[in-house]
């Protein structure tokens, strides 16, 4: 009886040791995760605190109602704010639909075809390409061809930067949709385009919207491509065919100056960009969560 129960005891001891090891590894992984989260939150909190402490002092009514002005003239950032909204909005209107359709093709139609692989490779290359190269490309294609800087050229440059982000997130989110959902819709006689539009995209809309938000966050603070395309403008200009002001370019110009009022407006402009992206994220998160419930 002792010899027959010995293997059982040995297996029980091994199971207990394995369970103890797994619990220790789980607690270690949990502790490391908490540590990483605390480090990231502290870093983000430090950045936000720097922006708040240095940027809140520059908030005033004339900041939102007056255009950029020379030092000491009590100017504002109204034209830069409007210019950023116009260029970023047009960039998303151009880049998001193109990226969405490309992601749908890669996830639902192309898959492993040579064309899909080529498109996926180019998209990944653009995803990691320096923004200044995109600005130089649009400068040679549009600015040098037309002979002048313009807000439209800036929007096109930002759209190229936003497009691969939407492509990648759309493809990944659509691949996560269960195959059973597609098969059920097809079994009911729905054509493939309806399955994609009303089943797959609806199920993946949270991730797709997150990708678009990432694209907005990426292009909202870009400076280098705008220096080669829209250039900047100290006066009011709503004409997309002319040089146009933008917050990132204004921040770049003001932050490197030796004038205290310009440096203050640079901090305030950086705060406005950060708060704007944060508000967009919160609104869309709340909206998509309400739609899921």
Q: How far apart are CA 267 and CA 51, in angstroms?
A: 7
Q: How far apart are CA 48 and CA 46, in angstroms?
A: 6
Residue 112 CA from chain centroid, whole number? 27
- What are the sequence ranges of the domains in the chain? 2-58, 62-292
Q: How far apart are CA 188 and CA 37, in angstroms?
A: 46
Q: Quote the pLDDT of residue 92.
A: 95
pLDDT at residue 243 greater than cutoff 80: yes
Q: Quote the pLDDT of residue 15.
A: 83
Q: How far apart are CA 270 and CA 54, in angstroms?
A: 10
Average pLDDT, integer, range 195-223:
90
Q: Quote the pLDDT of residue 53.
A: 94
19-22 own/partner pairs: CB under 8 Å, 24+ apart: none
Residue 8 CA from chain centroid, whole number? 57
Average pLDDT, integer, range 200-228:
91
Whether 154 contacts 246, CB under 8 Å? yes
pLDDT at residue 272 greater than cutoff 80: yes
Q: To the nearest whole number, what is the mean pLDDT of the chain?
A: 90
Q: Quote the pLDDT of residue 293.
A: 46
pLDDT band for position 3 (50/70/90)? low
DSSP state of 58: G
Query: Who contacts 78 (Cβ-Cβ below 8 Å, separation ≥6)?
Result: 63, 64, 65, 66, 67, 236
Q: Quote the pLDDT of residue 102.
A: 95
User: What's this model's pTM, rounded to 2 decimal places?
Assistant: 0.85
Percent of the chain residues past pLDDT 70, beyond the cut: 96
Q: Which of 10-24, 128-142, 274-288 has the lowest mean pLDDT?
A: 274-288
Q: Which CATH class is domain 62-292?
A: mainly alpha
For every residue of the chain, which 3-state class applies, written as one string?
CHHHHHHHHHHHHHHHHHHHHHHHHHHHHHHHHHHHHHHHHHHHHHHHHHHHHHHHHHCCHHHHHCCCCCCCCCCCCHHHHHHHHHHHHHHHHHHHHHHHHHHHHHHHHHCCCHHHHHHHHHHHHHHCCCHHHHHHHHHHHHHHHHCCCCHHHHHHHHHHHHHHHHHHHHHHHHHCCCHHHHHHHHHCCCCHHHHHHHHHHHHCHHHHHHHHHHHHHHHHCCCHHHHCCCCCCCCCCCCCCCCCCCHHHHHHHHHCCCCHHHHHHHHHHHHHHHHHHHHHHHHHHHHHHHHHC
Q: How far apart are CA 212 and CA 169, in angstroms?
A: 8
DSSP state of 99: H
pLDDT at residue 287 greater than cutoff 70: no
Average pLDDT, integer, range 119-142:
93
Q: Quote the pLDDT of residue 290.
A: 52
pLDDT band for position 282 (50/70/90)? confident
């Amino acid at each position: 009886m002792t010899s027959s129960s010995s293997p059982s005891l040995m297996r029980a001891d091994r199971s207990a040791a394995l369970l103890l090891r797994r619990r220790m590894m789980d607690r270690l992984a949990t502790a490391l995760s908490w540590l990483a989260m605390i480090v990231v939150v502290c870093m983000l909190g430090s950045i936000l605190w720097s922006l708040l402490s240095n940027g809140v002092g520059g908030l005033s009514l004339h900041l939102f109602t007056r255009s950029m002005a020379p030092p000491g003239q009590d100017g504002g950032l109204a034209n830069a704010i409007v210019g950023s909204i116009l260029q970023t909005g047009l960039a998303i209107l151009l880049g998001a639909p193109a990226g969405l359709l490309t992601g749908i093709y890669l996830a639902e139609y192309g898959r492993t075809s040579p064309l899909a692989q080529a498109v996926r490779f180019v998209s990944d290359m653009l995803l990691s390409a320096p923004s200044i190269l995109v600005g130089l490309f649009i400068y040679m294609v549009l600015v040098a061809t037309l002979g002048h800087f313009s807000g439209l050229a800036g929007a096109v440059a930002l759209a190229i930067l936003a497009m691969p982000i939407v492509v990648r997130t759309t493809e990944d989110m659509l691949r996560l949709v269960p195959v059973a959902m597609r098969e059920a819709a097809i079994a009911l006689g729905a054509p493939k385009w309806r399955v994609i539009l009303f089943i797959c995209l609806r199920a993946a809309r949270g991730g797709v919207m997150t990708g678009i938000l990432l694209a907005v966050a990426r292009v909202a603070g870009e400076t280098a491509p705008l220096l080669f395309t829209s250039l900047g403008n100290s006066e009011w200009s709503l004409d997309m065919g002319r040089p146009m002001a933008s917050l990132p370019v204004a921040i770049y110009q003001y932050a490197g100056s030796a004038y205290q009022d310009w440096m203050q407006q640079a901090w305030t402009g950086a705060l406005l960009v950060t708060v704007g992206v944060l508000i967009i994220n919160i609104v869309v998160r709340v909206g998509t969560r309400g739609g899921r419930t």
